[in-house]
């Protein structure tokens, strides 16, 4: 299928004697919002880690735009267009929001080291463009008024949005969000829904791991339900409401 | 370029009041170090001056690797020693001018640092610290025991003078004053290079690797590449300082690769504050000069040194400069908040540098520049802390 962006095939990951992933297989078509739900310990975050390169799988493979990436380092996958956010918030707290975003895009622009060291005109040009991109990314998450603030001055939810805006600095093809709602106030949920819809409208494929089933049902085009390191069900968001067995899995039953 | 454009488009701190003070301070400092041997009085003071320059440079190379990147590097002293030996070997075996030897020896050291970094920097920072200690002991062993190559425990003596012959110009480098200037040239080059690198956009990248390597990887940063590159440059710079030092004392022996040098430079980085260029430079000067003064008191010298390190570790764990910087920032932030309350209507334009871009238009159209001025100091303080 030509419009498949990501292919995950037979992914296996062991931690000691535990098989965290036990043959996970699914495809993600280009341009959709793919939800990934399941109870704690079902392997959702491990799946994202193996896709983005933060853990190496013990078996199976991952294809992105038709090419195998499972031996690539995390930074190489980021450069291919797979960006991510982390379950436990990761941002550079001491920087300003603007610097954070500039840093997030730094590895993707055309300035070479020598430009950076000697502050060449090329660097000035690149930085100017980067600042414009940073403003656009901030606008996408509605934080344009906070560019000059230190990241640690922002609320937890706002910092999550900064992390997301950072991931957008390189115009990714695919964005993996690991529990975007964790620690976010209920008021901000609607905001994140709007942001995800915004991303979809921009043609970015989004893979979301999230416990909040209502949220996943609202934003996703397709849903994967995981249980015990395997794909339990793969279908439209309606399976979350209608499928009895999915219901049981999510409630922790067997 | 207007002030507002500058702050918006460049990563350098924007022009502000502090900058003029800073650059004039640097100029005065340069004038002092450049003329020091002329008014220093005795050769002894000149030698202390040479030591200050040497330690300022060497501690700054440790600052690059430890302060900015977070990798505790005992190996800076190893590199300084390897550089010294390599420069001497190249000079004597190739029959070239010592300055060529220093350059080539430093390059050799930079190359040696690459496989060392590739092997030791991929794993944890603790692993790197341990490997760097072991490497130092190993290098010292080679220096001591490989008689035919290194001269063994007595080392290589009667090193040639690093005189300079350029066409008709001849500069002899023989006495203490001349060596002060030779060291000055290298130390200033080292300081300038370190400053240029760490205050660049690349310096911001190093700090991000220090803060969180998985986050920087998710930002597309090839951590290993930048870590090893940083280590290799720091090795080159440390080597050049080690090399000029052995030509000054006319002998290279295994004492160059010794923990004796680790304590002072580590003290300078910790006291000055890792990741702070001027803090470490000042600490290098202070911690070289004060022990020399205390030398008269003989047995109290080590006691004093230990006391300083302990006080800093307990009272100012981040180092002197970062603590002062934070205090200054806090007071600026308080003042700015105060001013903002007073100028409530302008709050919306004065909150961010991006807001300021829009605000600059309103200033041109008759707005008051005072409100912007307040904001500059805040913004520039932020950038500066990130960059220096």
Q: How far is B126 from chain A (nearest CA, A)?
A: 21
Secondary structure in 3-state letters for B354-381: HHHHHHHHHHHCCCCHHHHHHHHHHHHH
Q: Check whether residue A2 and residue A76 sit in a common domain.
A: yes
- Cβ-nearest to B9 among A113, A128, A166: A128
- Cβ-nearest to A84 among B218, B351, B378: B218
Residue of A nearest to B197 (CA): A117
Residue B139 lies in a domain: yes
Q: Tell me which of A148, A158, A166 to substitute to probe the interface with B (most B C-beta atoms closer than 10 Å).
A: A148
Instruction: Fill in the DSSP letter of residue B159.
Output: P
Residue B305 lies in a domain: yes
Instruction: Fill in the DSSP letter of residue A150.
Output: B
The verdict on a CB contact (< 8 Å) between B201 and A146 is: no
Q: Tell me which of A147, A158, A168 to substitute to probe the interface with B (most B C-beta atoms closer than 10 Å).
A: A147
Residue B13 lies in a domain: no
- Which residue from A206, A140, A205 is spatially nearest to A177, judged by alpha carbons? A206
Q: Which residues of B touch A160 (CB under 8 A)?
A: none
Residue B49: its pLDDT value, please? Answer: 93
Q: Check whether residue A136 and residue A182 sit in a common domain.
A: no
Residue B347: its pLDDT value, please? Answer: 45
- Cβ-nearest to B200 among A105, A117, A145: A117
How many contacts, defined by CB atoms under 8 Å, are there between A and B? 122
Are B256 and B142 in contact, with CB atoms under 8 Å apart?
Answer: no
Classified as helix, coil or strand, A2 is: coil
**Does the pLDDT at position B285 exceed 70?**
yes
Last residue of a domain, one of A114, A147, A170: A170
* Other beta carbons within 10 Å of B310: 10
Per-residue b/e over B125-156, b at no fewer than 16 CB within 10 Å? Answer: beebbebbbebbeebbeebbeeeeebbeeebb
Q: Which domain holds residue A165?
A: 94-170
Q: Check whether residue B109 and residue B41 sit in a common domain.
A: yes
Quote the Cα angle for B84-B59-B214, to 5°.
110
Query: Pick the residue with more confidence: B243 or B169?
Result: B243
The reply to whether A114 touches chain B by the CB within 8 Å rule is no
Q: Is A234 exposed, middle or buried (0-12, 13-18, 19+ CB in 10 A)?
A: middle
The secondary structure element, H or E, covering residue A36 is strand A33-37
Residue A3 lies in a domain: yes
Residue B69: its pLDDT value, please? Answer: 93
* Other beta carbons within 10 Å of B368: 11
Reported ipTM exceeds the 0.90 cut = no
The verdict on a CB contact (< 8 Å) between A104 and B219 is: yes
Residue A251: its pLDDT value, please? Answer: 74
Distance CA A245, CA A224 (A): 13
Q: Which residues pair with A175 in a beta bridge?
A: A83, A206
Q: Which residues of A touch B219 (CB under 8 A)?
A: 75, 78, 103-107, 166
Q: Check whether residue A176 and residue A253 sit in a common domain.
A: yes
Convert the pLDDT of each residue in B326-349 to its tens digit.
777 777 777 777 776 776 554 444
The CATH number that applies at residue A26 is 3.40.50.300
* Other beta carbons within 10 Å of A218: 16
Q: Which residues of A touch B352 (CB under 8 A)?
A: 98, 145-149
Classified as helix, coil or strand, B298 is: coil
Give the count of domains, chain B: 2
Q: Which residues of A touch B221 (CB under 8 A)?
A: 75, 106-107
Residue of A nearest to B214 (CA): A54
Q: Check whether residue B225 and residue B253 sit in a common domain.
A: yes
Q: How far is A54 from chain B (nearest CA, A)?
A: 8
Q: Which domain holds residue B182?
A: 37-317
Classified as helix, coil or strand, B60 is: helix
Range of lowest pLDDT (A76-80, B238-242, B294-298): B294-298
Q: Check whether residue B63 and residue B146 sit in a common domain.
A: yes
- Cβ-nearest to B200 among A52, A84, A116: A116
The reply to whether A106 touches chain B by the CB within 8 Å rule is yes
Q: How far is B295 from chain A (nearest CA, A)?
A: 41
Last residue of a domain, one of B291, B317, B343: B317
Residue A89 lies in a domain: no
Last residue of a domain, one of A138, A170, A202: A170
Share of chain A above pLDDT 90, in %: 30
Residue A86 lies in a domain: no
Structure tokens at A168: 């957008």
Q: Check whether residue B254 and residue B375 sit in a common domain.
A: no
Q: Which residues of B touch A104 (CB under 8 A)?
A: 219
Structure tokens at B105: 């020896």
Convert the pLDDT of each residue in B107-131 to its tens digit.
999 999 999 999 999 888 889 999 9
Query: Pick the residue with more confidence: B149 or A245?
Result: B149
Q: Check whether residue A166 and residue A181 sit in a common domain.
A: no
Distance CA B211, CA B205 (A): 10
The verdict on a CB contact (< 8 Å) between A96 and B382 is: yes
The verdict on a CB contact (< 8 Å) between A131 and B8 is: yes
* Other beta carbons within 10 Å of A42: 24
Q: Check whether residue A180 and residue A233 sit in a common domain.
A: yes
Those of residues 153-172 in A touching chain B at CB distance below 8 A are: 166-167, 170
pTM summary value: 0.83
Cα B146 to Cα A79, B87, B138, B155, distances in angstroms: 47, 17, 12, 10
Residue A83: its pLDDT value, please? Answer: 92
Q: Check whether residue B130 and residue B202 sit in a common domain.
A: yes
Last residue of a domain, one of A110, A141, A170: A170
Convert the pLDDT of each residue in B157-193 to its tens digit.
888 888 888 878 888 888 888 899 999 999 999 999 9
Residue B307: its pLDDT value, please? Answer: 83
Residue B209: its pLDDT value, please? Answer: 92
Residue B343: its pLDDT value, please? Answer: 64
Residue B259 lies in a domain: yes
Q: What is the CA radius of gyration of chain A?
A: 19
Are A168 and A140 in contact, with CB atoms under 8 Å apart?
Answer: yes
Give the count of domains, chain A: 2
Q: Tell me which of A54, A79, A100, A103 to substitute to probe the interface with B (most B C-beta atoms closer than 10 Å).
A: A103
Are A35 and A237 in contact, with CB atoms under 8 Å apart?
Answer: yes
Q: Check whether residue B307 and residue B353 sit in a common domain.
A: no
Last residue of a domain, one of B273, B301, B317: B317
Q: Check whether residue B313 and residue B347 sit in a common domain.
A: no
Query: Is residue B202 very low, low, confident or very high in pLDDT (cuts 50, 70, 90)?
Result: very high
Q: Check whether residue B249 and residue B128 sit in a common domain.
A: yes
Residue A114 lies in a domain: yes
**Does the pLDDT at position B272 exceed 90?**
no
The CATH number that applies at residue B287 is 1.10.3470
Query: Is residue B372 very low, low, confident or very high in pLDDT (cuts 50, 70, 90)?
Result: very low
Quote the Cα angle for A102-B10-B61, to 5°.
80
Q: How far is A129 from chain B (nearest CA, A)?
A: 9
Residue A87 lies in a domain: no
Last residue of a domain, one of B266, B291, B317: B317
Q: Can you spell out the DSSP letters for A193-231? A: HHHHHHHHHTT-EEEEE-S-HHHHHHH-SEEEEEETTEE
Measured in degrees and rounded to the nearest 5, phi and psi for residue B118 equal -60, -35
Q: Check whether residue A224 and residue A155 sit in a common domain.
A: no
Measured in degrees and rounded to the nearest 5, phi and psi for residue B136 equal -65, -45
Residue B9 lies in a domain: no
Quote the Cα angle for A210-A216-A217, to 5°.
155
Residue B12 lies in a domain: no
Q: Check whether residue A142 and residue A156 sit in a common domain.
A: yes
Residue B76 lies in a domain: yes
Q: Which residues of A touch B6 (CB under 8 A)?
A: none
Regions of chain A short of the pLDDT cut 70: 1-2, 252-254
- Cβ-nearest to A149 among B197, B208, B352: B352
Residue B134: its pLDDT value, please? Answer: 92
- Cβ-nearest to A75 among B12, B217, B379: B217
Q: Check whether residue B200 and residue B108 sit in a common domain.
A: yes
For the four alpha carbons of B57, B60, B64 and B70, in that order, the dihedral sign comes to positive
Residue of B nearest to A134 (CA): B354
């Amino acid at each position: 299928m030509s419009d498949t962006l990501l292919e995950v095939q037979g992914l296996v990951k062991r931690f000691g004697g535990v098989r965290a992933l036990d043959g996970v297989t699914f495809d993600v078509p280009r341009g959709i919002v793919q939800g990934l739900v399941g109870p704690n310990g079902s392997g959702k975050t491990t799946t994202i880690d193996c896709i983005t390169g933060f853990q190496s799988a013990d078996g199976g493979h991952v294809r992105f735009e038709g090419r195998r990436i499972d031996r690539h380092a995390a930074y190489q996958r980021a450069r291919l267009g797979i960006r991510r956010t982390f379950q436990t918030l990761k941002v550079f707290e001491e920087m300003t929001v603007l610097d954070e975003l500039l840093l997030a895009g730094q590895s993707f622009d055309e300035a070479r080291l020598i430009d950076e060291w000697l502050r060449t005109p090329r660097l000035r040009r690149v930085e100017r463009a980067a600042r414009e991109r940073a403003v656009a990314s901030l606008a996408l998450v509605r934080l344009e008024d906070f560019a000059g603030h230190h990241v640690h001055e922002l609320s937890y939810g706002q910092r999550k949005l900064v992390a997301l805006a950072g991931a957008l600095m390189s115009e990714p093809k695919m964005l993996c969000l690991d529990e975007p709602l964790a620690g976010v106030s209920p008021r901000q949920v609607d905001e994140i829904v709007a942001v995800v819809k915004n991303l979809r409208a921009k043609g970015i494929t989004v893979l979301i791991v999230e416990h909040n089933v209502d949220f996943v049902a609202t934003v996703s085009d397709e849903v994967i339900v995981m249980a015990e390191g395997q794909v339990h069900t793969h279908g439209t968001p309606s399976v979350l409401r209608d499928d009895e067995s999915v219901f049981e899995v999510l409630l922790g039953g067997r | 370029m207007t002030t507002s454009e500058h702050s918006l488009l460049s990563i350098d701190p924007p022009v502000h009041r502090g900058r003029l003070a800073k650059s004039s301070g640097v100029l005065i400092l340069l004038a002092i170090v450049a003329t020091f041997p002329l008014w220093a009085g005795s050769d002894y003071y000149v030698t202390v001056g040479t030591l200050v320059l040497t330690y300022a440079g060497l501690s700054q190379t440790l600052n690059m690797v430890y302060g900015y990147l977070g990798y505790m590097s005992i190996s800076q002293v190893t590199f300084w020693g390897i550089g010294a030996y390599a420069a001497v070997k190249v000079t004597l075996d190739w029959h070239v001018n010592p300055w060529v030897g220093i350059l080539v020896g430093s390059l050799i050291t930079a190359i040696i640092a690459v496989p060392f970094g590739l092997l030791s920097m991929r794993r944890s920072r603790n692993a790197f610290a341990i490997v760097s200690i072991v490497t130092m002991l190993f290098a010292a062993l080679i220096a001591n025991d490989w008689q035919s190559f290194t001269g063994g425990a007595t080392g290589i003596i009667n090193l040639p003078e690093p005189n300079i012959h350029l066409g008709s110009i001849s500069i002899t480098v023989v006495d203490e004053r001349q060596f002060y200037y030779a060291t000055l040239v290298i130390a200033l080059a080292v300081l300038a290079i370190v400053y240029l690198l760490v205050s660049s956009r690349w310096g911001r990248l190093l700090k991000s690797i220090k803060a969180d390597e998985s986050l920087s990887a998710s930002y597309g940063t090839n951590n290993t590449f930048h870590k090893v590159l940083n280590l290799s440059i720091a090795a080159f710079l440390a080597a050049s300082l080690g090399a000029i030092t052995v030509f000054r004392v006319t002998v290279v022996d295994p004492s160059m690769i010794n923990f004796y040098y680790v304590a002072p430079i580590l003290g300078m980085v910790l006291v000055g504050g890792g990741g702070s260029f001027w803090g470490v430079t000042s600490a290098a000067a202070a911690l070289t000069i004060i022990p020399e003064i205390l030398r008269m008191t003989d047995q109290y010298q080590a006691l004093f040194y230990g006391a300083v390190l302990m006080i800093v570790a307990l009272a100012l764990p981040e180092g002197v400069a970062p603590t002062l910087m934070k205090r200054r920032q806090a007071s600026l932030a308080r003042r700015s908040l105060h001013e903002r309350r007073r100028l409530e209507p302008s709050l919306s334009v004065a909150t961010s540098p991006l807001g300021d871009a829009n605000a600059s238009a309103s200033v041109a159209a008759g707005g008051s520049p005072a409100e912007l001025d307040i904001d500059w100091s805040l913004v520039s303080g932020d950038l500066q802390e990130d960059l220096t």
